[in-house]
Structures are given as structure tokens and as C-alpha cells.
Structure 1
């Protein structure tokens, strides 16, 4: 017997045990009724047994031949009365039994049959938990009905909470799936970048090694050139000293030549003096010869002397002319030598200046070579450090690439797990939806969508009856549309006849976002008015506002389109970034699966409190 304190549902109680004996609790009156019937039946049965025993005794007495005729006649009359009494008792028993059975059926069996029907529906997963057993006054099983009603209310509460939990799980699963998808995309991008960096690092390593080798070769060559430059600088300085010595000697030689030129001028002057003397002597000799000729014979000897003196003067004059010519030529040569010596001295001075300048430049070049060598040493050291650092970077990038690949694999596993969790949640929601709670957002939305689906199915069947090919799968691409749009034989008819119903359904459902019919391939011939705007050519704008005549063949869209169960509730991330619930119901037209009605709404719509 279940007391009132145990009539409610507890997680640790067993509904099957609580309802196993339909005569417990409220069924006591049923047993009491059967007891009354049994109490009425038992005395009659004993009476019949006693009458039968008495009749048998009388029949045995009638077999006695000594029995008096009068007594025999009285005994036979008594047996007749007993027979009629027995039949009357049997009739009374039958009437009582029928009356008891009728009472049993009305009081016990019929309520039990109602309960059995409810329990049968529940056991087959199509129960209406909103249905409660009536608590009629005087009903024998009212306590059992009350216990069941309490159990049903508790079960409705539990199923409502489980639905909310499943919706919350589905929402978080969709968010997690979106985050995992975004993370996977970033991980893949990171992997690609890591691969690029790895390749670049490999190339950089090769380039750095090449630079290192070239730097070392340049450093060695620079050292050799530095040594040669130092030797050349020393040679140039030695040459400069020699050129300076040559210049000094040329200066001395120039001084000597100048002195020689001066002496030659002096000799020339002396020669000119001698020539003058010779000319005067010649003139005197001529005058003496003239005077000797005047003297006659007395001056003949003087004339001879004068003539000799004149001849001597002529010879001296001739010699003087030759000497003068020689000296003039020598002076010219000395002057030329002086000029050339001056030019040589000037060239030597210029050469010394050039060599000195070159020596200074060579000294600067040697210093530059030394500085370059020091820099090359630093560069070589830096390149070696860079090579070591790049090797560590290469190893780190390689490790990053391996980790990125591992993260990508883990995220792929997370994606599959999210998909499995989403599918399990959808299955749980489908199982829970088999029970009607009679109230709440879930039942309300399902009822609204089912009613709209039936009306739209009737419209599509009417189109089919009018000869329209609603099963046209020859999708004709519309040029210049991105995302791609398609035309079919029935898209304009759907836009005229079903788009108003789409918009009305979205307005009726709290948090409604979209409502549309898609064929089994995910093709949507039309959409809500706000999502059926003309194409602008702007991809981002058209993606949001021009969604009619598109093929929604993403996993969510295809599952909705191909689903043939009573309904499918999915939670997913839309291509516009929103997290939505998508409730779809299959549409069968002319006995064939045509597609589905999809309704999207805010997941909070189903989160009952």
C-alpha cells in the first residue's frame, strides 16, 4: 500500500513497482466489493449443498420399500420443492455474480484499462504526459490516479529541465564547435605560416652558411690584401724617399747648371772682351800698316810687324768667334739643361707629391683595410652567432610546426567530438520530444512549426496537382550572383504563395529569425522577404540580405533537407556568425519526400525557467 507521503515521484523510487499492483491503495474498495460478492455467494453455495444433501437423503429414503405411500408422496413433494429452491438459489447466484462482475467492471476494470492505455502509450514513446487521470468522487482508484498524476507532473518537470539542459548543451556545443573551427583554421594557418617560416629558416640557414663562408673568404682575402697593401705602402714610402733624394740631387744639379751657365756667360763676356781687343788690335794693325806705308821704306819693317799683328788679330778674332759660338751653343745647352732640369725637378716634385699623396691614400686604405678586417671579424663572429641563433630558431620553428600539426589533429578530434555531442544532444531532444508536456516553449514551437508545415505541404501538393514540376532538380545558375543562385520551374510560385507564410511564421515564433522550405538537396527557391533582397554585387551585403534561390548544402542544411524523422532540432553557427536553433520537419508531397521546412530562432526561446 502506497501512503500519501510516498505518492510523489522520487529519483530512487520505481514507477513500475509503484504501479505494478493496480489494486493497492485505492483498490482496497475493489477487494471489498469482491468480498461482498463472495460473502453473498458462499451462503447460497452452502445452502445448495445442504439442500443437495437433504435431497440425496430423501431419495435414499424413497428407495425403502417399507415406506408408507402417504409418506412417499409427501417426500416426493418435498423433493420437488427442494429442486425448485435449488434452481432459485442457482438463479440468485448467477444474478449476484453478473451484478458483481458489472460492478467490478465499472469500478475497477474500466479505470485500469484507461491507465493501461496511457502506460502503453508511454512505453512506446508516444505518450501525452499532459493527460491526467480524473479524480471522480467515489472512484475506487482515485488514490492510484492521484499518484499517477503526481508522477506525471514530476516527470513533466524533469523532462522540461532535461530539455532545457539539452538546449543549453547544444548551444554551448555549437559555440564550442565554432570556436574549435575558428581555432582549427587559425592552427592550420599557423601551420602554414610555420611551414613557410620553416622553409624560410632553411633557406636562411643555407644563406647564412653561404654568407659565413663568403665572409670568411673575404676576411682571408682582406687580410692578404692588407698584407700586400702594407708591403706596397712600405715600397711606396721607400720610392718616395728615393724620389725625394732624386729631387735633392736634381736641385743640386740645377744649382751646378746655373753656376755653369753663369760661368759660361762670364767666359762669353771675356771672349767678347778678347774679341773687342782683337778688333782694336786689328784696327791698330791696320792703322800701323797705313802709317808704315806712309813712312815708306823706313816703315816697311813696322808694316810687316803690323801685318803680322793684323793676321794674329784676325786669327784671334776668328778663334774668338768660334769660342763665342761654342760658348753660345754651350750656354744654349746649359739653358736647355737648366730648363729641362727645372722641368725634371718639377716633375720629380710632382711625382714626390703624387707618391706622398698615394702613400697617404695607401696608408688610409691600409687603415680602412684594417678597419674592414676588424669589421669582417665582427661580422664573421656575428654571422656565426646568427647561424647558431638561426639553428635554434629553426629547431623552435620545427617544433612549432610539429605542435601546430598536433594541435590541428587535436582540434580535428575536438570537432568530431563536438559533432558527436551535437548529434547525441539532437537524439536526446528527439527522444524527449516524443512526450507531450502540454505546455512550455518547446511544445509551443513544435506545434507552431508542425501546423505551418502541414499548411505549406498542402500548398505544394496543390501546385503539384496543377501540373507544376515541384520536383525539378535541373538547377539553372543565375549569372553574376555570388553566392551562386539558381532558378527552377517552381521558384517564382514559391515566392508568391509561400513567402508570406514564411514571414508570418517568423513573426509568430518568439525570437524567430528565418523560415523557409528547402528541397532534399538544400535548395531554397525563396526565403523570407528580408532575406530576398535584389543582388547588389557586394558579397558581404548579398550574403546577409539576398539568400533566396541559394543552395544551403552545408552539413546543417543537408541534415535538415534529408531528415525523414518527425522533426530535427539542430543548434549551429550560421554562415553570418549567429548561433541559432534550427527546427526542421520533413515534407512529403505526392507520397515522395520533397524536402523540409526549416525554422531558425534564438536558442533562448527554448530555455524555459
Structure 2
């Protein structure tokens, strides 16, 4: 070991113990600073492990989901294959049916035109028949007149009378035939009229059929094209899903390796942090031992003031028990009732009102012993701090960050420094810690504490925090 020239064997023991205490204090500062850094890194590494675990789970879920998507796309592709074939078949069938419908509709339209021409022909026949009937009536009149004249002529007109009679009979037959023809034509005209009307209706429907068949053909053609595009898209998606699956399968093992390395690193950091915390305890023990053996220190002033104040509080607590001002059960109550609506959470114990009455006088006086002093407050073994300095005992607001800095009374500080201060029973305990100032900034602080006893029973400790 290289000897330290500052430790001269001729120096008095007290001087050497003072230097040892000084070195122990410096060591504590550096170790706590490192410990704080390692604690930050430890928390960050644990967060990274959680993030990596979540990412690994997410990657596995992506693989599973992608497999499901691939199966679905394979099924969809098969369905679109079948659908496309059916749609194309339907298009061909409907197109053929449409063509036939158009042919039928054209025939119906032509039939309607023909019925119209037949109706006109019947009208002409009816007119001609009426003309024939009129001629038959005239012939009949002429025949009757001829018969009359033949009768007047006697025997000489007899032959003419026979001819006239024959003509009369022929004209009557012609008239009767014309009547029957007119009746038949009328009936036929009625039928043709109905057929013409029906043919007109059918012709109109045929026009709609032709138009609808054309629209249906266009629609089905569009459907077929849409199915083709869907089929193409599903095939593209299936191809992309295959690429995703390949990429994830390649990435997943590497991700597992990263996770393993990160967990091993985090475990190493956690172990280092734990060992450094033990080193902090050791440096604190070295410092306390050096002071106890007579070493002077710049912290001795704060240590003595804290011990004196803790003794005063012990006397107050003991006296309050003796006078019945507070019961032992209430003073040593360890049930903490949360105060509704507080953030950060504040609590009440059965002794809180009592400490609010007796502690401020001593604690407030300690703030003025040196400009370095930041706060002075009593704390129980569980880290519960019932009564703080007035500047840190403000009523809470809606601003949580402001509350955390200014409403620190009735809070539980169960961190390493707070718990050690509340549980220490040695004459004093000097700790070094990093105080979080927010926004990632920390200030190195010293915390000296001395135990508080009430009628010989350990109640907690008095903390005095000050800057370097």
C-alpha cells in the first residue's frame, strides 16, 4: 500500500482521526454520488427491461396476428377465386340472356308494328265491305224496281222479271254476306285492337328490358372488374404478409438476444447498486467511528446541535407521557390514516396533533443555526414525518409538483435515508444523499440525525439536512 504523507506517525492521534473523518466524509460524498447515479441507471435499466419485455410480447403478438392475417388472406384469396369464376360465369349467362331478351324484345316491337299494320288493313277491308254492302242495297233496290216494271209489262216482261228476281236474291245474299263479313271484321278488329294495345304495352316493357339488360350488363361487368381488383389486392396483401412474417422471424431471435443481454446488464447494474449502497453504509460507519474516537469534523457542529435538539424533544415527550398529555399508545401509534383528496398523499396518526403543538418551537429554531440548513424535522421508524417546518407545511393546491415541494408535512418518506434516520439508535447518524430538485437535477445534501426517546422507548429520530 502506498503511504499517505498526510498521515504522519508523529501527528497526535486526534489530528489523524480528524483527517480520517475528513477523508471518510469525502469518500461518503463520492460514494453517494456514484450510488445515486447507479440508482438512476438501475431504474432506467429496469424500465428498459420492462419496455423490451413489452416489445417482445408485442413482436410475438405481431407474429401471431400476421399468421392469422395470412390464413385469412389465403381463405379470402380462395373465395375471391371462386367468386371471380362465378361472377364471370354469371356475366356470360346474363349477357347471353340479355341478348336473347333483346331479340325477343325486338320481335315483340316488330309484332306490335305488324299488328298496327293489320289493324289498318282491317280498317280498309271494313271500309270496302261497307262499300260492297251499300252497292248490294242499291242493286236490291234496282232489282225490286225491275220486278215492278216486269209485272207491268205482263207476259213480255216475264223473262226480265225472272232475271230481276235472281238479281234480287243475289243482292240479298250479298247483303247478308257483307253483314256477316262486317260482323266478323268487327270482332277481328276488336281482337286486333286488344292485341295491338297489349303489344304496345309489351313493346314498352321490351324497351325497358333492353335498357335494363344493358345496365345489368354494365353493372355485372363492373362487379367482375371489382372482384378482379379485390382478388389482385388480396394476393398483394398475402405477398406482403409473407414478407412481414419473414422479417419478424428474422428479427425476433435478435430481439430475444438483445433482451437477454439487457437483462444480464440490468442484473449487473442492480448488483453493483446494492454493493455501492453497502459501501455507503460502510463509509458512514467509518465516519461515525472516527468522530467517536475523537476526530474533529466540520459536521461536528451540526451533529452536536442535532443531538441537543433530539434530547430536548425526548424530554418533552417523556414529560407529556408523565403528565398524561398524551398516552403511550397514542404517541407510539403506527396506524396512518390517509387524508382524502391529497396528492401526494398525506396521513394522520393519533400523535400528529400533539407533535404539531410541541415540535415547531424546536424545529424552527434549528433553521437559524447556519445558512446551510435546509430543514429540520422529526420522523418515526416507518418514515412518517408528522410535523415539518412551516415553510414546508403549506396547504395543498391543485398543482401536484408544487405540493411535493411545499406540502411535505404528514407525509411518509420511506426512502433509505428517511428510514435509517427514523430507526437509528446510535448517538448520531450522518448520511449523504442526492436531493431530487426535478427536471433531472440533483443536489448533494448531508443529513445528520439523532434518536428520540420517550420514557426510555425509542420513538424515532430528528433529522437536520444541510448543504455542502
8 Å CA contact 2:430, 2:448 repeated in 1 = yes
1:369 partnered with 2:227: yes
Q: Does the aligned pair in 1 maintain the 2:314–2:454 contact within 8 Å?
A: yes
Distance change in 2, residues 1:290/1:206 (3 Å): farther
SS at match of 1:441: coil
Provide the C-alpha distance between the structure 1 equivalents of 2:153 and 2:377, rounded to a whole number of angstroms.
171
Question: 1:446 aligned to 2:303?
Answer: yes
- Structure 2 residue 4 is the aligned partner of structure 1 residue 11: yes
Q: CA deviation at 1:506?
A: 2.3
Q: What is the alpha-carbon distance in structure 1 between the residues aligned to residue 392 and residue 464 of structure 2?
A: 14
**Aligned positions of 1:25-40 closer than 5 A:** none
Task: Name the counterpart of 1:473.
Answer: 332
Q: Partner of 1:507: helix, strand, or coil?
A: coil
Corresponding position: 1:514 with 2:375: yes
State the TM-score, normalized to the length of structure 2: 0.83
Matches of 2:95 and 2:453, distance apart in 1 = 109
**Structure 1 contact 519–595 (Cα < 8 Å) conserved:** yes
Paired with 2:160 and 2:312, the residues of 1 have a C-alpha distance of: 179
Task: Check if 1:501 corresponds to 2:343.
Answer: no
Question: Residues of 2 paired with 1:469 and 1:262: CA distance?
Answer: 129
1:310 aligns to what?
Answer: 168
Q: Which residue of 2 aligns with 1:332?
A: 190
Considering only CA atoms, is the larger Rg found in Structure 1 or Structure 2?
1
Gap regions ≥5 residues in structure 2: none
Say if 2:151 and 2:158, in contact at 8 Å, map to a contact too.
yes
What is the TM-score with the length of structure 1 in the denominator? Answer: 0.66
Offset of 1:381 from its aligned partner? 1.5
8 Å CA contact 2:432, 2:446 repeated in 1 = yes
1:493, 1:260 → 2: CA distance? 124
Number of aligned positions between the proteins:
458
Determine the structure 2 residue equivalent to 1:409.
Answer: 267
Match of 1:486 among 333, 348, 367: 348
Match of 2:416 in 1: 555
Shift of 1:209: 2.4
Runs of 4 or more off by more than 6 Å in structure 1?
12-15
Alignment check: 8 A CA contact 2:333 2:350 kept:
yes
Separation in 2, partners of 1:507, 1:383: 72
The 1-side partners of 2:359 and 2:216 are apart by: 98
Q: Does 1:596 align with 2:461?
A: yes
Go from structure 1 to structure 2 and tell me whether the alpha carbon gap of 1:269 and 1:188 turns closer, same or farther (over 3 Å shift).
same
Map of 1:517-556 to 2, 5 A cutoff? Answer: 517-534=378-395, 540-556=401-417
Residue 220 of structure 1 and its aligned partner are, at CA, apart by 1.9
RMSD, matched Cα: 3.5
Per mean C-alpha deviation after superposition, the further-off stretch among 379-388 and 277-286 is 379-388
What aligned pairs does 1:112-511 form with structure 2 within 5 A after superposition? 147-148=10-11, 155=16, 158-159=19-20, 161-180=22-41, 182-184=43-45, 186-187=47-48, 189-190=50-51, 194-195=53-54, 197-250=55-108, 253-254=111-112, 256-392=114-250, 395=253, 398=256, 402=260, 405-438=263-296, 440-469=297-326, 471=328, 472-475=331-334, 477=336, 480=339, 482=342, 483-488=345-350, 491-492=352-353, 494-511=355-372
Q: How does 1:29-108 map to 2 (within 5 A)?
A: none
Instruction: Report the Cα offset of residue 525 of structure 1.
Output: 4.6
- Other-structure match for 1:581: 446
| CA distance in 2: counterparts of 1:475 and 1:320, whole angstroms | 133
Specify the SS of the correspondent of 1:222.
helix
Instruction: Evaluate the alpha carbon distance shift between residue 582 and residue 184 of structure 1 in structure 2; reply closer, same or farther with a 3 A threshold.
Output: farther
Paired residues of 2:24 and 2:283 also in contact (CA < 8 A): no
